Chain A
Amino acid sequence: MDLSFTEEELAFQAEVREFLENNLPAEVKDRYQRGLHFDKEGQVRWQKILNEKGWMAPNWPKEYGGTGWTATQKYIFAQEMGRASAPPPMPFGVSMVGPVIYTFGNQEQKDYYLPRILNSDDWWCQGYSEPGSGSDLASLKTRADRDGDDYIVNGQKIWTSHAQHADMIFCLVRTDQDAKAQEGISFLLIDMKSPGITVRPIIGLDKEHTLNEVFFDDVRVPIANRVGEENKGWTYAKFLLGNERTSIARIAQSKLRVEHLHEIAASERVNGGLLNQDRDFMRKLTQIEVDLMALEYTELRMLSKIEKGEKLTAEPSLLKIKGSEIQQRLTELLVESLGMYGAAYESQAVREGRNDLNFAPDYAHGPMAEHLYLKAATIYGGSNEIQRNIISKMVLGL
């Protein structure tokens, strides 16, 4: 057992820090700091910069373009990204479908898609949830029927994040109508430009458009676009969800919010002093900091297990539950830190122009939007109720 970094690790940390200082585009950093949803152009430009450096996919095996870093290096990298207010790459390509492709895809798929994911040539979205199938994903009804070398896909997906920007969607579809729920599902990669696909916006609580419905009406998809075996898609889907749940802990981002709260508390006034002299407020912030620390060391302990080749069971669910709850408590406290300005709300389009509408300080523009959006953190990626079910079943045997 040893918590300290080696000299090489410290040198690596310095290298990452310097790289981020010199290469993170200012506008990208600014949006991320202010809690705005990304803009696609900036996000892609930033991801391409990461890729040029070879740092787009720290978790991928080296042969596919990964970094070959140790768990400690990956941890350092994530921390430095957070510290620099650098947005992590969009998860749909590099964290979700990429690992499915290199683990279960054929050579042709690997050769074609993996470099494109690394270079952000395709914008991916995730077509899992359906109106009738959220927590009970295996009940999904979107169907794919064979026709020569193609599948014909019909059905509907919902809550598809950022589908309006997407070039590709990875989809769970039913290829065997008679099999038991989990056994008739396949994993398809579908070009969003295919005839028969319609994307409709869903406006969120924060009045922004990140969510969509995606309709499939006789959409022709080459059988070559299926990953792995027909009717084995559920295995791949579960594999992917496991990956999603670790990245969802968002520890580096939460640390950034803690820091931001300290800054605000050093500037907001109350009772003739500063908010950071208010015992009640600081106690809440401190409690979150301690909980975040516990989460961080839990994550490190799990990473160390992975490093030793041990298999995880339901540990990612723990990270997801605790991580999302902390995210929500932080944005709630951020809103609280603003006093009355917590009630003010402008859409993102207005906030981009900063202080036109009222006399609020810069930092007051953003926290409420994040608070609203992150209500979803305990819902998406498998709701926290579902995660607790998983732990109670898989770890506790209840």
Chain B
Amino acid sequence: MDFELSEEQVLLKDSVDRFVQNNYGPEDRLKLSQTELGFSREHWKQMAELGWLGMAFSEEVGGFGGGAVEVMIMMESMGRGLVLEPFVSTVLLGGTLVAEAGNNEQIESVIPSVIEGETMLAFAYAEQQARFNLNDIETTATKSGDNYILNGTKIVVYHGATADKIVVSARTSGNSRDADGISLFLVDKDAAGLDIRGYATVDGQRAADIRFDNVSVPSSALLGEEGKAAPFIERVVDRAIGALCAEAVGAMSAANEITNEYLKTRSQFGVPIGKFQVLQHRMVDMYMEAEQSKSMSDMVAMKLDLGHDDDTRKAVSAAKAQIGKSAKFVGQQSVQLHGGMGMTDEYSIGHYFKRLTTIEMLFGNTDFHLDRFSSLS
């Protein structure tokens, strides 16, 4: 057993930390989140040049063969700076689905260009009636000659309006909520019949609602076997959850440092407010939540690198449930301990609170994962 990073992993961590230090001062981040795009293409290029966009892909598809642990390292550091670029959407979701479910042709047409930073992706899976159930899909794909015709609405597709191609889950057979009968398609952003409506999310990122109105795609857009996508989706999403857990750990540790420093420097009643015991204990609770979260995040990354069985699934849900709870607590208390300062958008602590709030909900909130955990027992 070893929770320590290898030399190479330390280098990776240092490199992401440096990127965050250079590009993600609190004011830079606020400004960037308020641009129309919501992130920086410049940064994206840098990430490509640094090799990060290929980190999570296997060597067979042209990547660097990093595993969940490498992703965890990167995401934790990015979480500290609340990085806005669509790394999860493009690489961990869209890209990985193509790399794992797609055929050689599909992989070759997409993955190298993702790794070079040329192509951005999004994964359109959520539907309103589904809440967090990945198999609850009412969007349909109907075979018609050599094509599939897609109909339905996907919601809150992170980076859906800036993606060049969208990976979408749709039902080719079966009843809604059946695992069987779910297929994945790779759809061009310009496909006729697509209605993409982009908007901001509360965490300063961008999402889109996407309506498919008789969108016709060739059979070559089908990723993997018809009707057999559910296991791919579950596995890829579980790894993305591991990544979000790491991001939350980074965000919590940064929020805790900022708050801890504030307790030492803000004075009221003639003393630093950190002298009040009730605030000391609160800060200790925040610290303990962050420590427990770090343990769970490391654990889940290591398990994800071993395979994907029920034990992994339980680990993912346990980590997400525990980190969701901690993320809420740390985010909310960071604001509380800052008093009025915590309520302004000009100061960074509130941005951590907002991102931590959405991480709790993305890919299933705490209740959802407690349920999933207990159903796997």
Q: Which residues of A contact B (CB under 8 A)?
A: 129, 132-136, 139, 158-159, 202-205, 207, 211, 268-272, 280-281, 335-336, 339-346, 350, 357-361, 368, 372, 375-376, 378-380, 383-385, 388
Contacts and interface: CB of A to CB of B under 8 A. Distances in A.
- Chain A CB within 10 A, most for which of B126, B176, B361: B361
Contacts of B340: 129, 134, 158-159, 211, 376, 379-380
Interface stretch (B98-106, B203-211, B253-261, B307-315): B203-211
A203 B155 contact: no
Given A136-B269, A342-B361, A280 B367 contact: yes
Given A211-B344, A281-B367, A375-B336, A360 B201 contact: no
Contacts, number: 142
A134 B339 contact: yes
A344 B177 contact: no
B339 A360 contact: no
B139 interface: no
A355 to B, nearest CB: 10
B131 A344 contact: no
A359 B200 CA distance: 14
A136 to B, nearest CB: 4
Given A135-B339, A281-B367, A358-B199, A343 B358 contact: yes
Interface in B188-227: 197-203, 207-209, 211
B268 A203 contact: no
Given A360-B155, A375-B336, A339 B132 contact: yes
Nearest to B211: A359
A271 B136 contact: yes
A379 B339 contact: yes
Given A136-B270, A269-B128, 12 more contacts: A133-B268, A134-B339, A136-B268, A271-B136, A272-B176, A340-B361, A341-B128, A345-B201, A368-B202, A372-B202, A375-B335, A376-B343
Contacts of B365: 336
Contacts of B129: 269-270
Interface stretch (B64-72, B239-247, B290-298, B345-353): B345-353
Contacts of B200: 345-346
Contacts of B335: 205, 375
A203 B346 CA distance: 7
Contacts of B173: none
A205 B354 contact: yes
B362 interface: yes
Q: Is the interface of B mostly helix, strand, loop or mixed?
A: mixed
Contacts of A204: 343-345
17 contacts: A135-B269, A203-B344, A204-B343, A269-B129, A269-B131, A270-B131, A271-B131, A340-B126, A340-B132, A341-B128, A345-B202, A358-B155, A359-B153, A360-B209, A372-B202, A379-B339, A385-B276
A1 to B, nearest CB: 37
Contacts of A280: 367, 371
A341 B344 contact: no
Contacts of B358: 342-343
Question: For the side of the interface on B, what is the size category?
Answer: 35 or more
B231 to A, nearest CB: 20
A344 B339 contact: no
A117 to B, nearest CB: 26
A343 B197 contact: no
A41 to B, nearest CB: 26
Nearest to A337: B131
- Chain B CB within 10 A, most for which of A159, A335, A340, A385: A340
A269 B176 CA distance: 13
A358 B278 contact: no
Contacts of B362: 340, 343
B117 interface: no
A230 B177 CA distance: 72
Nearest to B269: A136
Contacts of B176: 272
Nearest to A373: B343
B114 interface: no
A63 B278 CA distance: 45
Given A202-B346, A280-B367, A379-B342, A344 B197 contact: no
A100 B26 CA distance: 42
A348 B340 CA distance: 21
A269 B126 CA distance: 13
Contacts of B208: 358
Nearest to A359: B209
- Chain B CB within 10 A, most for which of A203, A336, A359: A359
Given A344-B202, A379-B342, A359 B155 contact: yes
Nearest to A376: B343
Contacts of B343: 159, 204-205, 211, 375-376, 379
B119 interface: no
B142 interface: no
B342 A375 contact: yes
B168 interface: no
B130 to A, nearest CB: 8
A268 to B, nearest CB: 8
- Chain A CB within 10 A, most for which of B130, B132, B155, B198: B155
A207 B345 contact: yes
A158 B133 CA distance: 46
B156 interface: yes
Given A135-B269, A281-B367, A359-B211, A343 B344 contact: no
B46 interface: no
A144 to B, nearest CB: 23
A308 B353 CA distance: 45
Contact of A357 (B197, B270, B278, B357): B197
B338 to A, nearest CB: 9
A378 B126 CA distance: 34
A344 B126 CA distance: 13
Contacts of A211: 340, 343-344
A340 B131 contact: yes
Contacts of A134: 268, 339-340
Interface in B109-137: 126, 128-133, 136
